[in-house]
Amino acid sequence: MTDTALSSATASRHPLLWPLLAALLIIGWSSGFVGIRYANQEASVMLLLFWRTLLSGLILLPFALALGPRMSMRAIRDQALFGVMAVFLYLGGFALAIEQKVPTGLVALIADLLPLAIAVLSQPVLGERLSSRQWVGTVIAVIGVLIVSFDSLNFGTAPVWAYGLTVGSMLVFAVASVLYRRRKTQHMQVHQSLCIQTLTGSVLFGLCALTQGSLAPPMTRDFAIGIAWLVLIATFLAYAVYYTSLRLFPVAKVSAAIYLSPPVTMLWAWMLFSEPLTAAMFAGLAVTLVGVWMTARN
């Protein structure tokens, strides 16, 4: 039986598996805001991303070596490439855009259009064709995201290339996602893949951080809380659930859940930082839920 058939059989036997994974994915994906909010006041973004990826990779390393199949050099090379794309270029591109004064709301909006790019790529690359209903659901979800993000949108005064960087980072992650879904020959566990990817990212982020100064972490409580949150939830939970879901379900279905990250991020901000909630946010959440349901349901 092929990997695809095994994945389909596993998913069909457990009808509650996708709702559970989708909920965990939304929580993990939206939680990155919290860790960055805590730690970014204490260190540069590149230094923050260096420690996030380094600690993630080092924690996973003994498990990657002891649990799972033996990792071949070819598999390590492939996962290192995914680390460059899905960790360094994706996270680093958005971080650099923010440092260049691209408004955070605009960066978040472009990042949250990732499922749309994946939906476009899934047919020519994977042969996973979306139905008319799923395309309608995708359009509705995008409208919901726009409603949620509208109040925070402005265009700022950043250089033109920085705006293009945000689009490029999103597209790079979309390409990495469909390629990860397509490669069925690499029999590597998710924790092994994530270990290699984060360690690859840490090397590149470390080089970038060195150009800005020392790699020493700030010894403050907020930085420690932020890094712990980013490692445990925004990296381990978000990436592990995302890659596991890609192995079990169509890539467009998995990515559609990310449309719900903006309204959930607003809830994080309200609960932890007392940021206000508006009627537009709830309206956008309702619209997005309808779109995601139409896109993801069987």
Over the chain, what is the mean pLDDT? 78
Does 295 or 287 have the greater pLDDT score?
287
pLDDT band at 198 (very low <50, low <70, confident <90, very high): very high
The single residue listed with the structure tokens 């799972």 is 68
Q: What is the pLDDT of residues 224-252, one digit of tens each?
A: 888 888 899 888 998 888 888 878 887 77
Which amino acid is located at 137 in the chain? G
Q: What is the pLDDT of residues 200-212, one digit of tens each?
A: 999 999 998 888 8
Q: Which long-range contacts (CB under 8 A, 24 or more apart) does 178-182 make?
A: 178/118, 178/121, 178/122, 178/125, 178/126, 178/251, 179/82, 179/125, 180/82, 180/86, 180/243, 180/246, 181/126, 181/246, 181/247, 181/251, 182/125, 182/126
Share of the chain above pLDDT 90, in %: 10
Quote the tokens at residue 155: 């265009």
